Amino acid sequence: MAVKVMIPTPLRAFTDKKDAVILEGKTVGELLGRLTTQHAQLKKHLYADNGTLRNFVNVYVNNEDIRYLKYEETPVTENDVVSIIPSIAGGGTAI
Amino acid sequence: MNSLSETKDASQVQLSRDEIKRYGRHLLMPEVGLEGQKKLKASSVLLIGAGGLGSPAALYLAAAGVGKIGVVDFDVVDHSNLQRQILHGTADIGRPKLQSAAERIHSINPYVVVDLHQVRLDSSNALEIFKNYDVIVDGTDNFPTRYLVNDACVLLHKPNVYGSIFRFEGQASVFYADKGPCYRCLYSEPPPPGLVPSCAEGGVFGVLPGIIGTVQALETIKVLLGIGNPLIGRLLLFDALKMEFRELKLRKNPDCPVCGTNPTIRELIDYEAFCGIPPAMPAEGDAKLEITVEELKMKLDGGQDVFLLDVREPHEYEIANLGGTLIPLHDLPKRVNELDSSHEIVVYCATGIRSGKAVKFLTDVGFRKVKNLVGGISAWAEKIDQTMLSY
């Protein structure tokens, strides 16, 4: 099943500047696994060394946080949009 | 939702004839009206930062007639601020941001009381400053202050109107632990330093903070008046290039360390340490791996064979360069074989942050004669070649 995964600006440097990637998978975990295989540099930004998703990266299926669904086991279907939302701190005060 | 300033005696507030004229377009709307306008006059808002987000927020809150606006900032106005920080003008360069902020706010609305806090916000002063305000507007640019502002607002039961920007993307929400999730429910921990690029590396589209800061002003006024549906429990995402607004649901985390059912954080902590920032200066790395602009100048003047590696982006190279070979930082892993490890290599970027990462990468893969130019091309432009463009 092909599902769209939205890539946020800070991580586009690791996806050849693509803002979205279409991937095959039945669960969020499968999609993220494919994503980090295709774009290996992304892995350390999404996963801690112990293989869990990092605390400052949230993943949503449509507008729901997967932590309140079934984490990486959350099923996805064709019309779903998966979003990766990292924390950003910028306020433009200092550059 | 109930308005916040109901706790204050808005009924005791009077509007002068001039103020009635000034706020006429608000008074016409039943959602604001005379009562709402008095509430705004009785209310107080604290802006954390008079920068990209704080600027538009301050201008609109002042125009709307918020009675007291506090501003926390310790910075001075720099050329590079003017592209987006519309509280400050060209004539303000070199002046404290608080001075130009106060003047701009008063020029828009002389009825606003402006409170200036020229301090670096930290755990020792945050609660004392925050307690005198109804709403806190977070327009900071770093993770330690974000967590500090969040925790202080949770401890004091105050709403934290949040905005954040990066390049072309922005986020906004209202974190109000008494009624919904807080910032820690969304992100329990910050990224380690260096993993996420900062605005200084990534840049920011000047109009973007105008949009997000204005959303913050709007949400602040809704919260003060108790009207509409504020962004509590929702994260607004804005993509300027697509011109797209999206919204994600936020939930209160029962295990949240500060606003959960059994909080472990009951007072403010050391936020620099929490965010993994070592005391004193952020580590630029080992002194052996660094070179100053003066040292580099001597080497080049002495005819030494130094290979200069520029790890910025091509569009930055066009603005100014030291004649180095351009390999952007993100391309370095796949182009590392273009470098000769027997050469002495000096790596530079705009300020020394990206080149620091490049030096770490190169030493990790076995390069032994590689150094980071401290302060980058900005330091070169300041200390060695004043004709060079700095950005």
- Region B349-358 average pLDDT: 90
What was the ipTM of the complex prediction? 0.89
User: Could you report the per-residue pLDDT of B266-304, keeping only the tens digit for each?
Assistant: 999 999 888 887 665 444 446 678 999 999 999 999 888
Clarify whether B256 is annotated catalytic. Answer: no
- What is the span of the domain harbouring residue B300? 287-383
Together in a domain, B29 and B124: yes
Nearest CA among A28, A11, A20 for reference residue A69: A28
Joined tokens for residue A65: 């946080």
Clarify whether B199 is annotated catalytic. Answer: yes
Per-residue pLDDT tens, chain A, 95 aa: give them. 899 999 988 888 889 989 999 999 999 999 999 999 999 989 988 998 898 998 888 999 999 999 999 999 999 999 999 999 988 877 543 32
DSSP-derived pairing of the beta strands B44-48 and A20-24: unpaired
Residue B345 sits in a domain of what CATH number? 3.40.250.10
A93 is a domain residue = no
Asked whether the beta carbons of residue A56 and residue B189 sit closer than 8 angstroms, the reply is yes
B55 is a domain residue = yes
B296 is a domain residue = yes
Q: Give bridge partners of residue A61 from the DSSP assignment.
A: A64, A82
Instruction: Confirm if B69 and B103 have CB atoms less than 8 A apart.
Output: no
Asked whether the beta carbons of residue A89 and residue B198 sit closer than 8 angstroms, the reply is yes
Indicate the DSSP class of residue B80.
Answer: G
Count up the domains in chain B and report the number.
Answer: 2
Residue A59 sits in a domain of what CATH number? 3.10.20.30
Indicate the DSSP class of residue A53.
Answer: B
Residues on chain B touching A14 (C-beta within 8 angstroms): 330
**pLDDT score, position B366:** 81
∠ CA B66-B72-B74 to the nearest 5 degrees? 145
B235 is a domain residue = yes
Together in a domain, B103 and B18: yes
Count up the domains in chain A and report the number.
Answer: 1
- What is the span of the domain harbouring residue A32? 2-86
Residues on chain B touching A83 (C-beta within 8 angstroms): 246, 248
User: Could you report the per-residue pLDDT of B302-323, keeping only the tens digit for each?
Assistant: 888 899 999 999 999 999 999 9
Asked whether the beta carbons of residue B166 and residue A9 sit closer than 8 angstroms, the reply is yes
Listing from the earlier edge strand, what are the strands of the sheet with B113-117? B113-117, B68-72, B44-48, B135-138, B160-166, B169-175, B234-239, B244-249
Nearest Cβ partner for A89 among B141, B169, B250: B141
Q: Distance between CA atoms of B320 and B245, rounded to whole angstroms?
A: 36
A95 is a domain residue = no
A92 is a domain residue = no
Asked whether the beta carbons of residue A60 and residue B248 sit closer than 8 angstroms, the reply is yes
Q: Distance between CA atoms of B282 and B364, rounded to whole angstroms?
A: 20
Nearest Cβ partner for A91 among B165, B167, B330: B165
Q: How far is B350 from chain A (nearest CA, A)?
A: 11
DSSP letter for each residue of B187-242: -SSPPPTTTSPPHHHH-B-TTHHHHHHHHHHHHHHHHHHT-S--SBTEEEEEETTT
The model's pTM: 0.81
Best mutation target among B77, B150, B169 (most A Cβ atoms within 10 Å) is B169
A34 burial type by CB count under 10 A (0-12 exposed, 13-18 middle, 19+ buried): middle
